[in-house]
Amino acid sequence: MQNLCVIPAKLVSKRLPLKNIKFFFGKPIIYYSIKAALESKLFSKVFVSTDSIKIAKISEKYGAEVDFLRPKSLASPKTPIKSVVKNVIKSFEDENIFFDFVCCLFPIAPMTTKYSLRNSYIKIKKSKFNFIFPATSPHGTNQHFFQVNNNLKIVKLFKKKPKKNLKNIYSDSGQFYWGRSLHWKEKNTKIIDTKKTGIIISKKNFGIDVNFLEDWKFLKKEFKKIYDN
């Protein structure tokens, strides 16, 4: 069984410039995602999808592969992440390289560990879910709120943070998405859906959406808190 890890890291970030390679405790932050993917030993390829030669060189330095650059048409802020991953899958398939499962691991996810990647992979292999990803209890930086059932399947989506009296409410931790290669390529299949999407539960501050300098400072504070203990 062959698995692919795609780390999407475009160059331009308007609100926090060059955030995908901004130094984080002495290393470009993308290093931590590459390291977790490689240490998990789950992947035939750990591939960084980027439109930047600079990011490509940094990624290759830390052990990732960048066989080709992402087309500029897929590097806009409005490009869906599924389109980026689909482009990588199909590019490899054109070379007769096929994958069973694909993990989209974000470049700003330093809390991700080889263990969380492994645990979620085991879960998706055993389940009938199309996608699985880590979710956390809602807090300030979260997006994509939803309710899950006892099997951790998403059963209801919310456009904004729901009222506190509802049970089993979580939000996307913004770390990674596991999916079968087939479903990444399907046009009408959504990652976060009420049909066949499940979650694993991660700690509250493992998922921090970084858009501004204040978010970056908060991420550093939480990272230091965890790894100093």
Kindly tell me if the per-residue pLDDT of 229 is higher than 60.
no
Full-model pTM: 0.93
Angle between helices 30-40 and 53-61 (to 10 degrees): 40
Kindly tell me if the per-residue pLDDT of 210 is higher than 60.
yes
Q: Where are the domains of the chain?
A: 3-227
Higher model confidence: residue 140 or residue 30?
30
Q: How confident is the model at residue 139 (pLDDT cuts 50, 70, 90)?
A: low
pLDDT tens per residue, range 36-46:
999 999 999 99
Least-confidence region, from 19-23, 48-52, 189-193? 189-193
pLDDT at 228: 65
> Average pLDDT of 141-151?
82
Q: What share of the chain has pLDDT > 70, as a percent?
A: 95
DSSP letters along the chain, please? --EEEEEE--S--SSSTTGGG-EETTEETHHHHHHHHHHHT--SEEEEE-S-HHHHHHHHHTT-B-SSPPPGGG-STT--HHHHHHHHHHHHHTTT---SEEEEE-SS-TT--HHHHHHHHHHHHHS--SEEEEEE---TT-EEEEEE-TT-BEEEEESSPPPTT-SSEEEE-SSEEEEEHHHHH-TT--SS-SSSEEEEE--GGG-----SHHHHHHHHHHHHHHHT-
> Average pLDDT of 152-168?
85
Higher model confidence: residue 200 or residue 227?
200
> Average pLDDT of 160-166?
78
- CB-based contact 38:137 (threshold 8 Å): no
- Tell me which fold the domain 3-227 belongs to: Spore Coat Polysaccharide Biosynthesis Protein SpsA; Chain A (3.90.550)
Task: Please report, as a single letter, which amino acid is at residue 148.
Answer: V
pLDDT tens per residue, range 111-123:
999 999 999 999 9
Tokens standing for 164?
């506190």
Of 107, 65, 111, 93, the closest CA to residue 184 belongs to 93
- CB-based contact 25:66 (threshold 8 Å): no
Kindly tell me if the per-residue pLDDT of 141 is higher than 60.
no
pLDDT at 149: 93
**Cβ contacts of 212 within 8 Å, gap of 6 or more:** 15, 16
